[in-house]
Structure 1
Amino acid sequence: MASRMNLSEEHHTQIKTVKSLWQNESPEPSCVSMKSDRSMDPPIKFSSGDTSAHLSQKHKGLQSHTAKKNLDSIFKEIEHKIMSELKRFKRLLSPDYPECSERDRYDDEGHSRVREGLLKITLLILRKMNQTDLANTLQTKLMPVSQQKLRSRLQDKYQRISEGLSNHGDSTRLNEIYTELYIIEGGSGEVNNEHEVRQIETVSRRPETQETPINCNDIFKPSPGQDKPIRTVLTKGVAGIGKTVSVQKFILDWTEGKANQDVHFIFPLPFRELNLIQKHLSLVDLLNHLHTETKEFKSADYEDYKVMFIFDGLDECRLRLDFQNNQSLSDVTESASVDVLLTNLIKGNLLPSALLWITSRPAAANQIPPECVHQLTEVRGFNDPQKEEYFRKRINDPSLADRIVTHIRSSRSLFIMCHIPVFCWISAAVLERMMGKAESAEIPKTLTQMFTHFLIFQTKLKTQKYDGKYEINPDQARKTILSLGKLAFEQLEKGNLIFYEKDLKESGIDVREVSVYSGVCTQIFREEFGLQLGKVFSFVHLSVQEFLAALFKLLSFSEQNTGLMNEFRSPMSSLLKREVDKALQSENGHWDLFLRFLLGLSLESNQTLLQGLLRKTVSSSDINQKTAAYIKQKIRENPSPEKSINLFHCLNELNDRSLEQEVQTYLSRTDYYRLSGVSLSAAQWSTLVFVLLNTEEELDEFKLRKYDRSEECLLRLLPVIKTSRKIDLSCCGITQKGCAALISALRSNPSHLTELNLNFNTPGDSGVKLLSALLEDPHCKLKKLRLSNCSIGEEGCTALISALRSNCSHLTELNLSYNTPGDSGVKLLSALLEDPHCKLKKLWLIKCSIGEEGCAALISALRSNPSHLTELYLSLNKPGDSGVKLLFALLKDPHCKLKKLYI
């Protein structure tokens, strides 16, 4: 309260100061006007004794007295109005002041401008007094009615979530079921075009300890030590991972007053809405169009208030965002195409003070120039504890929830996919229904089985079997699924996840009958209404679209072969082989999941479940065996690790685990060198990689000698090695060739690695130079590096130290023993130790050809920066008597932190 009283006193003082300035200021000289007719007056007649100068002075004195009196009166009135307004502000800030109709008062335009001006002064002074919270509270309470209308509408729109349901009546309050998502700061800035299931699988193998989690509401808050404010945040995440739900929760918390209350207006502008706007318009008109509350705004309001724009779904953008060639725009009232408005907003030409949040799938994120992004975040979906939390919140019966979690954990492929919240919802919908009743059907263990049951439930083909109600017309359902499948397949080929009316027409779907599709497939196909624009359609997730596309392929094949004589029928195995080849030809794995689904659907057991859709089964055990043999042949051809892993998933869909069983014989050994003396085929090596990557064991630390001490083993197991945080390759015969392959693999995610042990190998100077390039990467967070007896000379040591100097704040242990850096190399190392950012605690330099000169440089460095190093190993060098004396003198230094010294 004291600060509020001080505010009034300060304003009172300021007003008096201004008043005194006015009073003491000399009057302005009058200006002669050529239009004045004063020169036409008769000449003045002077009385005796009164000179012209005296009369003039008397006249001026009378004018000055009158002006002063008038000025006093004016400023007294101004002072009264200002004090009244300040008292009003004070009342508003009082904790016991009720919500009132202050916002509803409408004054004449002049009074309103005066009030706005005084509010700006008050807010400025409050913030200079470090009373930011008071300033924000005051500004919020005096917000125009439009802000309250916007908050109210957004709260109504975002407070409920449908989890795939098209019927709003079945939706749930977001706050009741919301499970915190795992969001990290940073993430890779590189473009990742891989299939998103590949990305999910990669992330699932990565421990979380090296990543910085961040709360969704804090994404605009600078990290500790970060000085610059954050204007634009780019959030990446695969489809269905929770980006849109994060946006929804962010907005909801703002509308409910829980977070980000310093932001006065939030304007969601989804790209799927912006795609529909064809005409030229200004930014003001665009906001008026999508958020009608802004029609009361003046252009200056966008600068005066703290405004945030949220652009959700950059990957859905069909506008050409040409940041290089689009015209520059800085006026919010100037008209242009929507893409021009967006590029200027993002570049900061329009409303540079506004905050921007952009969400995108990884492959599309590079559309935004890096210099326009001030914070990069990544939504990782659910981590393992959050998966369990979701199922326990979603399923009311705790015992049933436990059984479902146990079942999900038993299938690695299902558990990995549960990183995606939408897949958790699909799994919960299926398993709650199947495991909650005395079902005789086999519980789904593969992705295809899970999606097949999901389709059955949602199309109500088996409703009578599951809940004793009606069963819909199979012919109608078949027609519907075929139409949706065709749409799914055609749009998958184009890479589209959202569709508009023209897309539906191209797939032969009558837009007027869309309710039939979203009614029969209640939770598969969504029809959404935009903010103020037309309809947008989508499948609830990319995986659902891929499943329906695969089903369409199978149904189309069945249709083509129905009624044909045997000699004219195309064999099913030929179709499956073509699709295997097609998937392998895709560099980014675009058809990986589609292929898994298609192969899974080729099983007779899954086709039996879909007998209402398939007029007859189009598979056999012979076809499955031929397909599995073809896939094994492709594995033997040694494709890339990612393609090989997907082929193993395909074999699992075909229930063929013969290759896995072969390598399990070797993995079951508990000793070291499990593969020593064993000659594995290319297919067996690929199988070993797949098995190790899909084990439930934490791949935190990898020791190559557990398998075999050979460079071949290193090269074969690189996909496993690069997922580990701690890599031990000691005594394994690694040469420059193996070192080059290792570094190349590690560069894809340098922030992941924390420990690397290459002791007693022969990478040489050339190999260490390659390693140095990795260490220079600012994302590299390596803490422990062991290079004992690695044939490193002065040249390699120079490259290594140079790299460490450019990125020295992470390394705490370095072992260079049994190499030959010599005095020159140690001098470079000493310069590193002098760096105040250097955090080395343990340093091994045993038998490194260090003489008196090198020893002196080393000790000098430790004297200048003695606060970190605690262990120093200098055995088998030649420091000489002088060097030993310097070392003992160093130990006596009270600032020296050395606890262990070996000489």
Structure 2
Amino acid sequence: RVPQLNDDHYCGTLLLSFDLRKKFQHLFVQSTKSGKQMLMNEIYTELHITDENLERTVTIGNLLELLPGQDGSLRSLMMKGVSGIGKTVTTQKFALDWAEDKVNSNTLFIFPFTFRELNLLKGKKYCWLDLIHHFFADTKGAGTCSFDKFPSLFILDGLDECQLALDFHNNEILTDVTDSASVDVLLTNLIMGKLFPSAQVWITTTPEAAGRIPRESIDMVTEVRGFSHPKQEEYIRKRFRNKELASRIISHIKTSRSLHIMCNIPVFCWITATVLEDMLKTDDRGELPKTLTEMYIHFLLVQSKLANVKHHGRSETDPIWSTETRTMILSLGKLAFEQLQKGNLIFYEENLVEWLHQDRQFSFVHLSFQEFLATIHVIVSFINSGINLLSEEQSTSKQSVLTTEQSAVSQLYQSAVNKAMQSSNGHLDLFLRFLSGLSLQNNQELLQDLLKQSGSSLQSNQDTVQYIKQKIRENPCPERCINLFHCLNELKDQSLVEEIQQYLSSGCFSSNKLSPAQWSALVFILLSSENEFEVLDLKKFSASEKGFLRLQPVLLCKVWSRKLSSMPRSMKAVKVSALYVNKNKIAHLHLLFFFRLSSCELRPESLEALSTVLSCQSSSLRRLDLTNNCLRDSGVELLSAGLESPHCRLETLRLIGCGLTWKSCDAVAFFLNSQSSCLKQLDLSMNKLQDSGVQVFSAGLESPHSKLETLRSAGFSKASHLAAMLKKGLLDLTNNSLEDSGAKFLSAGLQSPHCTLECLRLSHCLLSERSCESLASALTSQPSSLKELDLSTNDLLDSGVKFLSAGLESPQCRLETLRLDCHGHTKHLSHTSLFISLESPVTLLLSLFSSIIIIN
């Protein structure tokens, strides 16, 4: 039971709320003019957050709640996401909303800690009460001391930055919140629930560091996926009050697929907006940055220009790399590298004085900037003196100077790859990506005045690419390999997609065991890559259900739709025919030209999603095969909404063996009659439509809007309902009980001057020799358009064949292929002006012209 609140508790809550409002109500936003504070509630933009297991969308409001129907309680939450994805800002926004009484009103206290701050207390002893008072001093003044008795939330932000041991197996067990211990021990007992068992704990981390906490201590895992495309635009419009400038920035981002995708990461979106704000000031803006490294280089140039204007009184048109600015950047680079080597993310005053010669505090705005500037330092050191700061052979007091230039360059990159691969928490991942990107000549040229490249060359791209590919094949750890794929992307390696497919199909690591976050990372690489590939073989991805769902954005990319539309038609088919989608939801597959989902046990929600795809304005889908899915009439009804859309461009639809009855035919007639219908081929074979059903959809066939050229249908007996199809190209009535009366009706239609039918298939239609007599008269009509006639597997007898022979003799006959079955032998017979009397079932009609004789 929750104890009764007293005045001290109310006072403590109010003071804590006031403190959190003051701390988090503003967010610092850098621009090309100056940094400024913006209200959190004005700039904050909702992120896409999902529950890792249930794939439900999570909002700040329900982040710490169980789904309806779930048992138990939610004590511990782990939020995963790549660096810069918005985890920290999300925790700050949550704390602010609580302080403003917008969320979690039942929680009496919220204590947001960061591991960066907790690292500073390493080696010191506290009890939890003292630790809370250390960071939230106002609670001490209110006399609050019973936090463990009331609903509380502890936020531990940045597990990937934690320098504490967190030894869950060997740390001392504590059960009293007044017991003193090291911060490391306090945290492990809090997370395990030994202390504050009724409190909730929310931990944020990158995927690489998530394994530091035992899985049994975590009740739920969520993943932050960043901005959706609409939220990108919303953020930029909030960021820039100038509506015209915001619109121009958004338009420029959309011109580059890789840029558009990478802006899903908020920190990258912020950097991109800042860079574009500067680039749009001049008409001579050059090519837009497309990779992570390119964007950070441009951001460094923008910030250096700003420093020149703000701190050194120079003009924006003056050279960027003044002596003061270059010295500052190189000093920051040295500081960044030295501290990165030690794993330090917060710098003490003595560090800053040593490298910057300034008696004031400095901190990097984001970890990625520390890694970028550290990369600059490594490269400058190598260029100026040939020193490889990453060499494993050197000690802290002695650095190795390599001899031959080419071997030195290769050694530099290989050392970086090896160091990053050895990291357990991925703290050198971005460093390696930046180093890969900075090896490209065009990137070095952007920084030539900073690097002052007069010594060693850094051109070793192909050697680096091959070494990275070798490491991918040697290392089964998905997190390490995913970062190496990022490096190939920075190197603009054209085989990136092929490498990913080979990795997943090689057997060195089962792709079915990839976590959703790992799938998301692979998808991000595929989307942000500028690789131009025409065939995406999804079978090679060997994805599980969740894995395939994570691949959906690759198919969703609208820019690919535009790219595909500019290709020759023969190159548009995306190879997905071998893909097995077992009980999957299908997302907006705008990209696809041909999508085969035969025998996939599709659910109603899948059909709703497919319907949305068909009705999407950017849809490229032309052929859809749903063969052998138990859609039934209700499924066709769901699908028809998309087929009737004016945006639907579908030309071929196969619904073979889908359990349809006459009830489906009304929907079929409706979309055939649609003014915008593009459907040319419809296959309804192996469904029990019956005569009543065919009669219903025949109204659609007779519509002037119908563009249907080919119809395959079965399960009825009256051919009269299909008169309109005699004006089309192909009519396949295989496996229908038409009998001779049906053939007689069709023959009459074939003799009409309006008939344009070229192919008629009447296999398995219970026809006799009488049907041949009717059809023979049709072959002699003027003009006859029929070029192919299939009468196989009907009991025509010799007399029936003789009737057909008479028709073949006519100069009006245009038939090129005739399929017959005589006592089990099927022959393809060709029209010829020579007629040889067929006196036995095995006599063949030989062609002197264009057709080929085939005996089955």
TM normalised by structure 2 equals 0.53
CA contact (8 A) 1:237 1:378 kept: yes
Is 1:317 aligned to residue 151 of structure 2? no
Higher RCO, Cα 8 Å, sep 6+: 1
Q: In the superposition, relative to structure 1, how do residues 631 and 781 fare at CA in structure 2: closer, same or farther (>3 Å)?
A: farther
Q: Which amino acid aligns with 1:577?
A: S
1:631 equivalent to 2:465? Answer yes
1:398 aligns with 2:235: no
The alpha-carbon deviation at position 504 of structure 1 amounts to 3.3
- Aligned equivalent of 2:15: 149
- In the alignment, the residues of structure 2 paired with residue 473 and residue 692 of structure 1 have an alpha-carbon distance, to the nearest angstrom, of 33
What per-residue deviation string (whole Å, max 9, x for no partner) do you get for residues 835-874 of structure 1?
xxxxxxx99999xxxxxxxxxxxxxxxxxxxxxxxxxx99
Would the alpha carbon gap of residues 724 and 147 (structure 1) be closer, same or farther in structure 2, given more than 3 Å must change? closer
1:338 aligns with 2:172: no
Aligned to 1:868: none
State whether structure 2 residue 355 is matched by structure 1 residue 509.
Answer: yes
Letter in 1 for 2:410: K
1:223 matched residue in structure 2: 67
- Quick one: which of 50, 61, 65 aligns to 1:184? 50
- Provide the rounded CA distance (Å) in 2 between the counterparts of 1:342 and 1:595: 31
Matches within 5 A, 1:844-883: none
Deviations 1:496-555 (A, max 9, x none): 3623429937x953685455xx4xxxxxxx2xxxxxxxxxxxx33343233222211221
Map of 1:417 onto structure 2: 262
The corresponding residue for 1:549 is 374
Aligned match for 1:287, one of 109, 132, 151: 132
Aligned-partner Cα distance in 2 for 1:236–1:661: 25
Aligned counterpart, 1:613: 450
Maintained 8 Å contact 1:459/1:477: yes
Aligned to 2:230: 385
Query: How do 1:809-824 and structure 2 match up within 5 A?
Result: none
Letter paired with 1:547: F
Amino acid in the other structure paired with 1:509:
W
Contact 2:9 2:144 in 1 (8 A): no
DSSP-derived class of the 2:181 partner: coil
The equivalent of 2:146 in structure 1 is 301
> Cα distance, 1:430 vs. partner?
0.9
Out of 261, 267, 273, which is 2:111 matched to?
267
Q: 1:843 to 1:281 in 2, by over 3 A?
A: farther
What are the Cα deviations for residues 592-639 of structure 1, in whole angstroms up to 9, with x where unaligned?
65455335434554444334423345688xx75x63476369769984
> The residue matched to 1:268 in structure 2 has which SS?
strand
Q: 1:503 to 1:783 in 2, by over 3 A?
A: farther
Task: State the AA in 2 paired with 1:504.
Answer: N
- Kept in 2, the 8 Å contact 1:266–1:309? The answer is yes
Amino acid at match of 1:332: V
What SS is found at the alignment partner of 1:436? coil
1: CA distance between counterparts of 2:461 and 2:338? 25
Q: How many Å apart are 1:490 and its aligned residue?
A: 4.1
Residue aligning to 2:120? 276
Per-residue displacement from partner, 1:290-346 (whole Å, max 9, x unpaired)? 222232566763244322221112222222222233233222222222222222222
Query: Structure 1: which amino acid aligns with 2:438?
Result: L
Q: What's the secondary structure of 1:387's corresponding residue?
A: helix
How has the CA–CA distance of structure 1 residues 176 and 588 changed in structure 2, closer, same or farther, with 3 Å as cutoff?
farther
Structure 2 CA distance for partners of 1:270 and 1:479, relative to 1, 3 Å: same
Q: Tell me the SS of whatever aligns to 2:260.
A: helix
**Aligned twin of 2:24:** 158
2:275 is matched with which residue? Answer: 430
Q: Which residue of 2 aligns with 1:486?
A: 334
What's the counterpart of residue 601 of structure 1?
438
Q: Secondary structure at the match of 2:68?
A: coil
Comparing 453-462 with 282-291, which one deviates more in the overlay?
453-462
Counterpart residue identity of residue 88, structure 2: T
Confirm whether residue 247 of structure 1 aligns to residue 72 of structure 2. no
The 1:462–1:424 alpha-carbon spacing in structure 2 relative to 1, beyond 3 Å, is same
Is the partner of 2:267 in helix, strand or coil? helix
Aligned residue for 1:543, secondary structure, equals helix
1:773-814 Cα distance to aligned partner (Å, 9 max, x none): xx9xxxx999999xxxxxxxxxxxxxxxxxxxxxxxxxx999
1:380-415 superposed Cα distances (whole Å, 9 cap, x missing partner): 221222112212222233333233223323333333
**Letter of the 2:164 counterpart:** L
Picking from 352, 364, 384, the partner of 1:559 is 384
- How many residues are treated as equivalent by the alignment? 549
Deviation at residue 714 of structure 1 after TM alignment: 4.3
Cα drift, residue 232 of structure 1? 1.9
Q: 1:597 to 1:163 in 2, by over 3 A?
A: same
Shift of 1:435: 0.9
- AA partner of residue 457 (structure 1): V
1:159 is displaced (CA, Å) by 0.6
Q: In 2, Cα distance between the equivalents of 1:634 and 1:267?
A: 43
- Partners of 1:455 and 1:152 lie apart in 2 by 37
Residue 558 of structure 1 aligns with an amino acid whose one-letter code is I
In 2, the alpha carbon distance for the partners of 1:173 and 1:691 equals 30
Query: What amino acid is the match of 2:94?
Result: F
> Residue 499 of structure 1 aligns to a residue in which SS?
coil
- Distance in 1, matches of 2:316 and 2:92, equals 37
Other-structure match for 2:36: 170
Q: Distance in 2 between matches of 1:263 and 1:285?
A: 21
Structure 1 residue identity aligned to 2:20: L
Amino acid at match of 2:103: A
CA contact (8 A) 2:172 2:185 kept: yes
SS at match of 1:217: coil
Q: Distance in 1 between matches of 2:203 and 2:598?
A: 46
Within a 5 Å distance, the mapping from 1:421-500 to structure 2 comes to 421-460=266-305, 463=308, 468=316, 474-493=322-341, 496=343, 498-500=345-347
Letter paired with 1:180? E
Question: 1:446: how far off?
Answer: 3.3
Deviation at 1:452, TM superposition (A): 1.4
Identify unmatched segments of 5+ residues in structure 1: 1-116, 124-138, 188-209, 519-525, 527-538, 563-567, 664-688, 729-740, 761-770, 786-811, 817-841, 847-872, 876-903
> Residue 349 of structure 1: SS of its match in structure 2?
coil
Match of 2:226, SS state, is coil
Q: Which amino acid aligns with 2:56?
A: T
1:511 and 1:354 mapped to 2: Cα distance? 46
Q: Which amino acid aligns with 2:374?
A: A
Q: d(CA) in 1 for partners of 2:140 and 2:327?
A: 47
Distance (whole Å) between structure 2 residues aligned to residue 365 and residue 171 of structure 1: 32
How far does residue 648 in structure 1 lie from its aligned partner after superposition?
7.9
Letter aligned with residue 610 of structure 1: L
Distance 1:374 1:489, change over 3 A: same
The equivalent of 1:232 in structure 2 is 76
Distance 1:178 1:618, change over 3 A: farther
**CA distance, structure 2, for counterparts of residue 402 and residue 569 of structure 1:** 51
Cα deviation digits, residues 724-770 of structure 1 (max 9, x gap): 46999xxxxxxxxxxxx999xx99x999999998979xxxxxxxxxx
Q: Which residue of 2 aligns with 1:58?
A: none
Q: 1:588 to 1:379 in 2, by over 3 A?
A: farther
Which amino acid is 2:334 matched to?
K
* Alignment match, 1:257: 101
**Contact persistence 1:162–1:168 (CA under 8 A):** no
Q: Give the letter aligned to residue 224 of structure 1.
A: P
